[in-house]
Amino acid sequence: MDLYASLPISQLAAVGKGAFTEIVDIVAPSSAPAGSRVDITVKIKNLYSSTIGIMVGGALEYGVSPWPTITFPSPSANVGPGATYSFNGYFTMPSVAVTIHAYSYYYAEGSWYFDDERTKNVTVAVVYQGTISRKELEYNESRAAIPASNIPKDKRGLVHIWGRNDMTTTQQMGIWWEVKDPGGIIRETYAKWETFWTGPGNAQEFIGGRFNLDKTGTWTIAVQLFMNPADQVVVDDYYGTLCTVAAVVPEPEFAGFGVTDYSKI
Amino acid sequence: MQSLYERQVGAILGALGVAPPGKLTITQGEAVRMTVSFNYRGKAINVTLRCSIGTRIAGIFYESVYGTKSITLPSTSDWITRTEYADINTQGCSPSANYDIEAKISEYTSATLVKFDNVIDVIGAPEFESFRITDYSKA
């Protein structure tokens, strides 16, 4: 039998922390961008044999004194025996890694008593920034900006996409795109990480494979630009028209021209 | 000269046509409608049909009179057939036999020019001279 669960609530203050509550988990992202709101959930279990009042508290450890607190809009609740209650809170991510320090308290004899604690680290997430800076469709010897219009039917299409590194650090960029014809059929899928790295402010060109623009109508393309190959992040995308393809109209041509008759009128 | 029958049919059906290289005889000043047909494909264009009556001498066509008509052709990848005509006022044709004709799309002469020789005779307009009473008597 659990020693603590058998004690009357009036004696809880004498037992010490962790006696009647247990922080079973802190749900929070492992990393978050600086300045962003970080939502967390502290799950606290009632270890006592009957309902008790439980309160959550929290602070951030990262070298600032006093530790900034974590906001819990509803910091306390009556929790049934054996039940686990989730307390939702949030904080603003500083520019350095932090340790979430969560505390649990139980209520007895008119006061809250500190009982358990748990920590979880959150690192500063790198915010990857890049832009699809240029899109072109090459068809035979010509090029047009995407979305292109009135491309003659039966040309050979070739997509060129440029990704720009908008960060202050050198990055490796990747690309993915998918071209669909007017019938919705996938005509080209292309994916590639650049072999080397691209400096801040510079752009990397990606060139796909050729495909036949053999249907009239609107062709579409979906493009995603990536960074961070180890845990790829989409930094920009484009979903829309690749081009409109028009039927080829030959140069004016006459045939069978003849006088059929002449008459008085 | 048209027969009475031809005139009656003509009155019913409108203009009676002559298929080349048949001969059409007209009176000077009468209008001639020249009908052409052709196949076309290509972009939308505006062109001019030019139909002429004249005289060919040593291979050179000397145009006497002509008529034109503006034609609008649509953009088409497939061949389409069109029939068009132009009316020619022959007032400028001197009465003479064996006029030659030509028809063409002016902007595409090399692809369309057709010609027929000795297909139109032009006779002079009715003309009277020395009309007078020579006598009068009981009939």
Is there a cis peptide before residue A8, judged by omega within 30 degrees of 0?
no
Q: Considering only alpha carbons, which residue of chain B is nearest residue A260?
A: B36
Whole-angstrom Cα distance, residue B20 to residue A178?
A: 61
Tell me the pTM: 0.53
- State which fold the A9-125 domain adopts: Immunoglobulin-like (2.60.40)
Q: Considering only alpha carbons, which residue of chain B is nearest residue A153?
A: B77
B interface with A, Cβ–Cβ below 8 Å: 14-20, 24, 26, 30-43, 45, 51, 73, 75-77, 79, 81, 83, 87, 101, 103-105, 108, 111-114, 116, 119-120
Q: With a cut of 70, say whether residue A11 has pLDDT above it.
A: no
Average pLDDT of the segment spanning A128-133 = 96
Q: Are B54 and B64 in contact (CB under 8 A)?
A: yes
Of A249, A254, A262, the CB nearest to B77: A249
Average pLDDT of the segment spanning A57-74 = 92
pLDDT value, residue B17: 77
Residue of B3, B28, B41 for testing the chain A interface, max A β-carbons within 10 Å: B41
Q: Are A149 and A244 in contact (CB under 8 A)?
A: yes
Could you give the C-alpha distances from B60 to A177, B55, B56, B114, B117, in angstroms and in order?
Answer: 65, 8, 5, 14, 12
Q: What is the pLDDT of residues A97-122, one digit of tens each?
A: 999 999 999 999 899 999 999 999 99
Judging contacts by C-beta atoms under 8 Å, the chain A residues touching residue B45 are: 252
pLDDT value, residue B16: 64
**CB contact A258 to B (< 8 Å):** yes
pLDDT value, residue A59: 95
Whole-angstrom Cα distance, residue A225 to residue A219?
A: 20
Average pLDDT of the segment spanning A134-143 = 93
- The list of chain B residues with pLDDT below 50 reads 1-14
Of A248, A256, A260, the CB nearest to B39: A256
Judging contacts by C-beta atoms under 8 Å, the chain A residues touching residue B83 are: 260
Instruction: Give A142→chain B minimum CA distance, Å.
Output: 21
Q: With a cut of 50, say whether residue A3 has pLDDT above it.
A: no
A17 falls in which pLDDT band (50, 70, 90)? low
Q: Is A130-246 a CATH 2.70.50.60 domain?
A: yes
pLDDT value, residue B113: 96
Average pLDDT of the segment spanning A216-239 = 95
Residue of B13, B18, B36, B72 for testing the chain A interface, max A β-carbons within 10 Å: B36
Cα angle: A250, vertex A254, A256; to 5 degrees:
140
Q: Please report, rounded to a whole number, the percentage of residues in chain A having pLDDT higher than 90.
A: 83
Judging contacts by C-beta atoms under 8 Å, the chain A residues touching residue B26 are: 264
Whole-angstrom Cα distance, residue A102 to residue A210?
A: 57
Q: Are A115 and A20 in contact (CB under 8 A)?
A: yes
A6: Cβ–Cβ under 8 A, 6 or more apart, which residues? A49
Q: Which residue has the tokens 């007078």?
A: B132
pLDDT value, residue A16: 41
Listed by start position, the domains of chain B span 19-123
Sheet strands (E) in chain B? 17-18, 24-27, 31-42, 45-57, 60-73, 76-89, 96-105, 114-123
Q: Which residue has the tokens 């054996």?
A: A82
Listed by start position, the domains of chain A span 9-125, 130-246
Q: Please report, rounded to a whole number, the percentage of residues in chain B having pLDDT higher than 90.
A: 78
Average pLDDT, chain A: 91
Instruction: Give B58→chain A minimum CA distance, Å.
Output: 22
Average pLDDT of the segment spanning A10-26 = 69
Q: Considering only alpha carbons, which residue of chain A is nearest residue B100?
A: A262
Can you say whether the dihedral through the CA atoms of A152, A158, A161, A162 is positive or negative? negative
The 3-state DSSP class for residue A14 equals: helix
- State which fold the B19-123 domain adopts: Immunoglobulin-like (2.60.40)
Q: With a cut of 80, say whether residue A28 has pLDDT above it.
A: yes
Q: Which two tokens stand for residue A189?
A: 């899928």
Cβ separation B37–A262 shorter than 8 A:
no
